[in-house]
Amino acid sequence: MTIARSNLVSGLDADCVADAPIGPLTWYGIGGRADMLVSPHTIKTAAEIVRRCRHAEVPIRILGGGANLLVDDDGVDGVVLRLDQPCFRAIEFNRTGSVTAARIGGGVDLFGLVTELARRGLQGFEHMAGIPGTVGGAVRMNAGGSGGDIASVLDAVEVILLDGTTRTFNTDALAFGYRESTLPEGIVTSAVLHLEEGDPLEIRQNVKTFFAAKKAGQPMADHSAGCAFRNPVDTSTGSLMSAGKIIDEAGLKRLAHGGASVSDRHANFIVVQPGASSRDVQSLMATIRSMVAQATGLQLEREVVIWSRHSHA
Ligand SMILES: Cc1cc2nc3c(=O)[nH]c(=O)nc-3n(C[C@H](O)[C@H](O)[C@H](O)COP(=O)(O)OP(=O)(O)OC[C@H]3O[C@@H](n4cnc5c(N)ncnc54)[C@H](O)[C@@H]3O)c2cc1C
């Protein structure tokens, strides 16, 4: 069944732009438009939009900070939902003794959050320093690095499921792994983190150390979507191998397709120059996969999420 696109948001408290350029809202800054970009003003409205989309069989996608996302040049169909209104950016603290439960909106920016928690002398989140994006995207991707992932401080996740119902999942009922979890599909509207009181100076120093390590090893100032490929599992030991090292050893650093190239700072980052297209990035990814497979027999799996009219993954 289809309904007029305007019916998807009619009577609801939401901003809505038809044929909206969404590529510029990503870290890559490239890619096309969405049929409709919607910013709900309340969680209830977001849930109603999810219900209406489902009823009308209109695809819906959630845009966070766009830090792990590549939008196809032809853009995407359906609705792109953006959690940029104040109700998705709220932060509440609930202190019991030396432990604080912090309820963080899904649209809260990670850079600002790291700074705010350090300012309050709350420790446990410093390892997320330098990782761009929103809390919702970080929970969805179980973002993290050498110091651990977001799941290590996560107590609960509040989600609007694809049928429009809202649920809270305690993390002990979920399994989190490397950049993945068993959290059901839906919109992460907030996350509850458990944090300990600590020495503000020490916390600030930890943040600086994590940030400096990222800046030294990754092209933070370039346009990218972070690691292009997941680190593959070494089947003989069960441990993760570095996709960056594998790509580097295959001699692919600085390989370019159009305006996209393999970063010379970190070979698992594909960076773009002004004028690059999404197609440049996708064809470079395909070349890397096939050359790595030829050289090593390994099939690299994509970490970057690609949105296109042809795939709704
Ligand atoms: C320079 C750079 C460095 C990076 N370094 C790291 C790193 O060290 N470690 C790491 O893990 N990642 C890293 N990344 C990748 C990125 O920061 C993370 O994957 C981050 O969690 C993406 O969050 P986002 O809000 O930008 O999500 P987006 O890119 O907007 O979306 C990614 C996916 O999450 C979904 N999503 C977004 N918000 C929500 C929500 N509220 N509810 C449900 N689903 C949602 C989207 O639909 C999409 O499927 C890096 C990226 C860049 C550009």
The CATH number covering residue 115 comes to 3.30.465.10
Which residue has 């773009």 as its token pair? 272
Are 226 and 208 found together in one domain?
no
pLDDT tops 90 at residue 163? yes
Q: Which residue has the least CA distance to atom 43 on ligand 1? A: 187
Which atom belonging to ligand 1 lies closest to the Cα atom of 179?
11
pLDDT tops 60 at residue 313? no
pLDDT tops 80 at residue 33? yes
* Boundary of a domain, candidates 191, 217, 243: 217
| Nearest CA-CA partner of 72 in 273, 282, 229 | 282
Say what the pLDDT of residue 310 is.
78
Q: Does any ligand 1 atom lie closer than 6 A to the CB of residue 187?
A: yes
* Boundary of a domain, candidates 174, 192, 217: 217
Does the annotation mark 227 as catalytic?
A: yes
Are 144 and 210 found together in one domain?
yes
Average pLDDT over residues 157-186: 96
- pLDDT digits 0-9 by tens, 202-254: 999 999 999 999 999 999 999 999 999 999 999 999 999 999 999 999 999 99
- CA 246-247-249 angle, to 5 degrees, is 65
Amino acid letter at 259?
G
Q: Does any ligand 1 atom lie closer than 6 A to the CB of residue 156?
A: no
Number of domains in the chain: 3
pTM value?
0.96
Say what the pLDDT of residue 199 is.
95
Are 164 and 209 found together in one domain?
yes
Say what the pLDDT of residue 312 is.
66
Instruction: Tell me how far the alpha carbon of residue 224 lies from the centroid of ligand 1, in angstroms.
Output: 11
Are 209 and 106 found together in one domain?
yes
- The mean pLDDT value of the chain amounts to 95
Are 70 and 121 found together in one domain?
no
Say what the pLDDT of residue 298 is.
96
- pLDDT digits 0-9 by tens, 68-87: 999 999 999 999 999 999 99
Q: Which of these is catalytic: 5, 179, 265, 279?
A: 179
Q: Which residue has the least CA distance to atom 36 on ligand 1? A: 137
Q: Look up the domain containing 178 and give its range.
A: 90-217
Does the annotation mark 179 as catalytic?
A: yes
Say what the pLDDT of residue 311 is.
76
